[in-house]
Structure 1
Amino acid sequence: MSVFFYFILAIILAIADQLVKYWVVANLELGQQTALLPNILSLYHIRNTGAAWSIFEGKMWFFTIISVVAIAVLSYLLVKYYRNGRIFSLGVALILGGTLGNFIDRIRLGYVVDMFKTDFIQFPIFNLADVELTIGVIFIFIYILFEERFKK
């Protein structure tokens, strides 16, 4: 696949994240919760001015710098190494899409819209971009573990 496919995928993932956030903001009041999958997953509209678990809360300049650097590094990795395999490239595209999704929120709103709340365990509330980031890291981890097999 072409490197452009992975960049387009990252943009589509960022747009999907923004659409979910737009729907949540338009349909749920801040702090409102509604069951999505009863006793498993709820939608819970919150604003996060930090990172995961609200660490570094209010440090928007820090996240802006980190996001710009991450977008540049991820773009470089995708261009330079996209031929290494689909698992690696998909991982980078997922991380890039998630980074872009949360970066757009931080620049546009000054906070990140989070909405997914697990009801069966105590876990931080997250959004689609966070899911993309997590899956992307898992893909890259799998690629690193099995790199030799993927290259054959």
Structure 2
Amino acid sequence: MITGIIIIVAIIILDQITKYLTVTQIGDRTIVIIDGFFNLIERHNYGAGWSMFEGNWLFLVAVTIVSLVFFGYLFKSVSFKEKWVYSTAISLMIGGTLGNFIDRLRLGYVIDFLQFIFGSYEFPTFNIADSALTVGVILFAIDVFFLEQKR
């Protein structure tokens, strides 16, 4: 369980530091990392992923709280010795959820800054918390569909 708490805290710290650096160092400009593919840019997301539910702050806060209660329930059964994929997944999902929740409560929106472009398609800008959530969901699915049966 200590390992899970360390992962959660590390995700929150990394997420908040990178968002702080985005606001203080990037601002209104775009920093091109790989021309035509990857940029750093400050965006404010007033919704959830892909700006869904934009303007529904109370709904997003309520969903986040329900999610955190559910993840907290799942966190009670983490065991990095017996179920490391499951335990890492839950820890990443909690850390990512809390990282974005801090923004939403503090600012009213979530700071995004990682921008990928694929030809004429611009993938929705995201952040470290979003990445942790995505990896956590993928690991959780792998655990549920492939590893849980073997335990």
TM-score scaled by structure 2?
Answer: 0.90
CA RMSD of aligned residues (A): 1.6
* Runs of at least 5 residues in structure 2 that lack an aligned partner in the other structure: none
1:116 aligns with 2:119: no
- Whole-angstrom distance in 1 between the partners of 2:16 and 2:98: 10
Aligned residue pairs total: 148
SS of residue in 2 equivalent to 1:77: helix
> Could you tell me the percent identity over the aligned residues?
36
| Higher alpha-carbon deviation: 108-117 or 32-41 | 32-41
The 3 A distance-change label for structure 1 pair 34 and 8 is same
**1:35 Cα deviation after fit:** 1.0
SS of residue in 2 equivalent to 1:66: helix
* Runs of at least 5 residues in structure 1 that lack an aligned partner in the other structure: none
Structure 2: which amino acid aligns with 1:134? T
**1:40 Cα deviation after fit:** 2.3
| Offset from partner CA, 1:17-40 (integer Å, 9 cap, x none) | 01000000001124x211123332
Residue 141 (structure 1) aligns with: 141
SS of residue in 2 equivalent to 1:21: helix
Question: Which of 88, 93, 96 matches 1:95?
Answer: 93
The 3 A distance-change label for structure 1 pair 67 and 148 is closer
- Whole-angstrom distance in 2 between the partners of 1:149 and 1:72: 25
Dislocated runs of 4+, deviation >3 Å: 81-84
Residue 50 (structure 2) aligns with: 53
* Residues 119-130 of structure 1 mapped to structure 2, 5 A cutoff: 119-120=117-118, 121-130=121-130
SS of residue in 2 equivalent to 1:76: helix
